[in-house]
Amino acid sequence: MSRGRLGKYSLWQFRDFVVERGVAILIIGLLWGYVLIAPFRAAGGPQLKLNPSSPMWPLLITVASSIVSLSVLIAVNGIVSTDKKMGYYRFLFSKPVSVLAYYVQLYFVHMVGVVAAMLVLSGILRTIVPDFSIVNYLLYTALIFVAMGGIGFFISVATRFDWVTLAAVWLGSRALRDLYGAKPGLPGKLVQVLPPVHKLDAVANGLITNGNAPTTDVIWLLAYGSLFFVLGLVLLRQGSLAD
Amino acid sequence: MPPTFELNRASALVIEFRNVGKTYKSLLGNSVKAVEEFSLQVVEGEILGIAGPNGAGKTTIIAMMLGYLRPTKGTVEINGLPARTYIERNGVGYLSELIAINPKWRAETALVRYATLAGISDAEIPLRVNEVIEKLGLAEHRDKKVKALSKGNLQRLGLAQALLRDDQILVLDEPTHGLDPVWTQRFRDIVEELRRPDRTILIASHNLDELQRLADRVAIIDHGRLQRVVSTGYEQNAPTATRFRLTLAGGFDQIRESFPLAESGGRGEYDVTVRSIQELNTALADLISRGALVVSVVPERSVLEQQFREAVGESQ
């Protein structure tokens, strides 16, 4: 008996990503970008004079990085939990395929999908803001997919309410670090194990603007996301697909 | 000690449940035992039925067999491998009780996707997909979205994906649920066609008539426990008294000569009770020799139904 053709199935996984998430990501990105860019274009003409030294550049970076975060949230939401919740796993995994390999592949297909969507959006932005680097933006996207997507993957394996949980973890970590990050004692130490969302602003500014970011921050984000991705796989292996 | 059932047959052992248990625990610490001390062996070439009332644990047992659910206790092995390992290497044909296919997929593309995952080559996929579509009468529905299919058609689509590969093991959970009488009969024919010396088929159902017709043995489960394993054939010297309904077309006045305690049900029908198949045949031969015309002899309850009533009654 032959084994399942998982590699070939990645084309179906990518098609599902485009139909179910990619279009939504593009629409949200375009709307969000339009809301930001339209007032500038109305004031300054079709070619914006935005460059890294412009006072509005940080705002552009904030919006661009927020679109990446939102896209990753959309991309990993339900990546495992939907199959469990809806029972799709039953027919998928009666076939000769490894559950782990299936979801590892799906995770990377979604990463490619998000990067492709950001390529489209940044390509459009580049026509208006020539100083905006597409390559740097895609690098940032890949980094955030690993950092945030890894945590999202773990949450999707562990719970059915993954997007709410991931949003709560992401925003909660930021709030708790703001509150206790600089304080001495146990609370200050405990918040250090939360997701390193406080490093995102510096990384976004550095990486998107000039392709440089503090190496330790990048490693910290990558390691944190990767750790949770692996923990998600372990949980998937040890746990049950059925309730 | 829980009852264990081992086959005394030369056929190769395919599926083995060894003292399997599953307990669900809630966050509040409450626990529910869904399956307890379940041991069973299934051999090559066999069609094994799993019967039980609703909530007896049939679907939980199948989920553990497929590795979708981790047993709290015990092991499930297929061909000597942990169940999940076997399936990831070889696959099984599986029809679940609830047909869960993405409602946005079209029927045919759903089959193409499953065929890809099943390892069928690009060249062979159209052939296999067409074959199961024809076999399950889905030709006119192939372009419909899954969400547009009726319950019966969805059930047939579920069965179609289970038959894509020539699997050694087929697991069918409530396979005729939602099927009309024509397709219920067609399903039975398909299962008979699938019977092969090197194939093992498990059918979970609460339809005893279906299991009586299809299965070689039936495991009766209640309250998560294996109550007994019943062979569906009639034993020559079955010790328990069995009631049969005789229908005659003539010679009505002879019935009490051969069956003194026959009870008339009107329209030439009579209920008779015998202690063995031999006694039934002797009395029937006597009745026919007296000139009676026998139209049919039907057991009031099948062997399985009788055993099921006893087993489920005992467990309660």
Q: Is the pLDDT of residue A4 over 50?
A: yes
For residue A219, count other CB atoms closer than 10 A to its CB: 10
For residue B64, count other CB atoms closer than 10 A to its CB: 28
- Determine contact: B87 vs chain A, CB below 8 A: yes
DSSP B229: E
DSSP A53: T
B33: Cβ–Cβ under 8 A, 6 or more apart, which residues?
Answer: B21, B22, B23, B224
d(CA B188, CA B181): 11
pLDDT score recorded for residue A143: 95
pLDDT tens-place string over residues B210-231:
898 899 999 999 999 999 998 8
Indicate the residue of A5, A90, A99 with minimum beta-carbon distance to B119: A5
Do B96 and A88 count as a contact with CB atoms less than 8 A apart?
no
* Average model confidence (pLDDT) across chain A: 90
Residues in chain B with CB shorter than 8 Å from the CB of A241 are 68-69
Q: What is chain B's alpha carbon radius of gyration, rounded to the nearest angstrom?
A: 23
Token digits of residue B71: 């047993």
Do A242 and B63 count as a contact with CB atoms less than 8 A apart?
yes
pLDDT score recorded for residue B2: 44
Backbone phi, psi, residue B275, to 5°: -95, -15
Residue spans of chain B under pLDDT 50: 1-6, 8
Find, among A146, A85, A84, the residue nearest to A110 by Cα: A146
d(CA A60, CA A55): 10
pLDDT score recorded for residue B4: 43
d(CA A62, CA A120): 18
8 A C-beta contact, residue A99 and residue A160: no
Do B98 and A87 count as a contact with CB atoms less than 8 A apart?
yes
Nearest CA in chain A to B25: A243
Q: What is the mean pLDDT of the segment spanning A215-224?
A: 91
8 A C-beta contact, residue A89 and residue B94: no
Do B68 and A242 count as a contact with CB atoms less than 8 A apart?
yes
pLDDT score recorded for residue A163: 81
Positions of E strands within chain B = 13-25, 31-43, 47-51, 73-78, 81-82, 93-95, 169-173, 200-205, 217-222, 225-231, 242-250, 263-266, 269-274, 293-299
8 A C-beta contact, residue A205 and residue A61: yes
Find, among B95, B84, B78, B91, the residue nearest to B41 by Cα: B78
ipTM score assigned to the predicted complex: 0.89
Coil, strand or helix at B13: strand
pLDDT score recorded for residue B28: 80
Indicate the residue of A3, A20, A91 with minimum beta-carbon distance to B161: A91
8 A C-beta contact, residue B15 and residue B200: yes
8 A C-beta contact, residue A166 and residue A152: yes
For residue B55, count other CB atoms closer than 10 A to its CB: 12
Do A94 and B100 count as a contact with CB atoms less than 8 A apart?
no
DSSP β-bridge partners for residue B145:
B106
Residue with tokens 């087929």: B170
8 A C-beta contact, residue A149 and residue A111: yes
pLDDT score recorded for residue B198: 92
Q: Is the pLDDT of residue A2 over 90?
A: no
Say what the pTM is: 0.87
CA distance A243 to chain B (A): 7
d(CA B188, CA A200): 61
Indicate the residue of A5, A6, A90 with minimum beta-carbon distance to B100: A90
Q: What is the mean pLDDT of the segment spanning A145-159?
A: 94
